[in-house]
Structure 1
Amino acid sequence: MDTVFIEGLAVDATIGVFDWERRIKQRLLIDLEMAWDIKAAAKSDRLEHTLDYKAVSDRVAELVASSQYELIESLAEEIAAMLRNEFSINWLRLRLSKPGAVVAAKNVGLLIERGQRGDV
């Protein structure tokens, strides 16, 4: 099983439960690992045979930037569902970080896995 990854995708979004958070954009960081069999792409050297990480990045950024969730948990579930549905990803690990949310912490967030990791 192979893994395509995107690390540190930064997107500004409206996210949070407090009134002041609903009036501003906050920077979110997204790390993704996605199961994908790269053999066909390696053999053909053609973009259409692989998981296009640019297309994935653009779609995730579009979804996050237009979202209005209060909780990062809800946003993480929407991102995971969209990726699995639109890109036919069997397994993914998503780390969604909200740096600055806790002043005394370098970073806070969550890590979720969805799907089956096995052979793709």
Structure 2
Amino acid sequence: MSAPADRVLVRGLRLWAHVGVLERERVTGQWFELDFSLGCNLSVAAAADALEHSLDYSLAIQDLQRQARMIRCLTLEHWSDQIFSLLEEIYGDVPIWLELRKCQAPVPGFCGIVAVQRSRRWPT
């Protein structure tokens, strides 16, 4: 099975959250960045030029910002599960792919990006 031909994609959603293994990460908070895709058929929305036939990404952005302000956990893996749950509450059982990045991992001498990539119902 192949990935959905149509998708709504959000890239570079910056979120401030209290997530990390180190206590100071959970107390102080830090920036994260999220990309996500929602698989769907966009042909009706395209033909009708009607948002009600698409997936309104603004709902996800607002709810994810709210979730990020409230979450307290150790791992990106746990937070990504919470993101899946939130997106499923909004859009139902659509295929979802996400990448959640920690913008500044607290590893001495490391300036790269740490991330998890996960999917639900997204064919590989």
Question: What is the TM-score with the length of structure 1 in the denominator?
Answer: 0.89
Give the drift of 1:89. Answer: 4.3
Task: Give a deviation string over 1:30-77, Cα, whole Å, max 9, x none.
Answer: 000110111111111111111011111111121122111111100001
Listed as ranges, the gaps of 5+ residues in structure 1 are: none
Contact 1:13 1:28 in 2 (8 A): yes
Give the Cα–Cα distance (whole angstroms) in 2 for the partners of residues 21 and 42 of structure 1: 43
Cα contact 1:35–1:117 (8 A) shared by 2: no
Aligned-partner Cα distance in 2 for 1:38–1:87: 14
Considering only aligned residues, what root-mean-square deviation do their CA atoms show, in Å?
A: 1.7
Deviations for 1:81-101, whole angstroms, at most 9, x for unmatched residues? 221232124211110000111
**Structure 1 equivalent of residue 37 of structure 2:** 33
Decide which moves more: 101-110 or 9-18: 101-110
CA distance in 1, matches of 2:104, 2:122: 33
Alignment of 1:28-107 (within 5 A): 28-101=32-105, 102=107, 103-107=109-113
Output the amino acid matched with 1:105: C
Q: Which moved more, 1:29-38 or 1:83-92?
A: 83-92
Matched residue, 2:9: 5
Q: How many residues end up aligned between the 2 structures?
A: 118
Give the percent of matched residue pairs that are identical in Structure 1 and Structure 2: 25
Q: Give 1:22 shift.
A: 2.2
Secondary structure of residue in 1 paired with 2:81: helix
Instruction: Tell me, yes or no, if the aligned pair for 2:60 and 2:90 is still in contact at 8 Å.
Output: no
Q: What TM-score results when the alignment is normalised by the length of structure 2?
A: 0.86
